[in-house]
Amino acid sequence: MRFLYLLLAVLFFLFQASSGFVDVAPADTVACRSQQNFCRLGTCPPTFEASGTCHNGALLCCSKVPGV
């Protein structure tokens, strides 16, 4: 039974959140999302057009087509 307490303590240690880690988004992703657009892998859905890139060019920044 003591083994379960030790296992639980080890699991808590392994899966703890690191408080000092911050995942900083690339500049193109921040620019895309600040204009109320979204990032997508592949082509943009209908009524949206590619207006730039996200994640350092890996994704497309999709924006709503004006007038639609």
Domain ranges of the chain: 37-68
CB 62 within 8 A of CB 49: yes
Which residues, including other chains, have CB under 8 Å from residue 56's CB and lie 6 or more apart? Answer: 26, 28
Examine the pLDDT at 31 and tell me if it is beyond 90.
Answer: yes
Average pLDDT score over residue span 2-28: 78
Confidence of residue 40 (pLDDT cuts 50, 70, 90): very high
Region 54-61: what's the mean pLDDT? 94
Smallest Cα–Cα separation from 54: which of 36, 27, 34?
A: 27
Looking at residue 2, what is its pLDDT? 73
Mean pLDDT across the chain: 87
The closest of 41, 36, 32 to 61, measured between CA atoms, is: 32
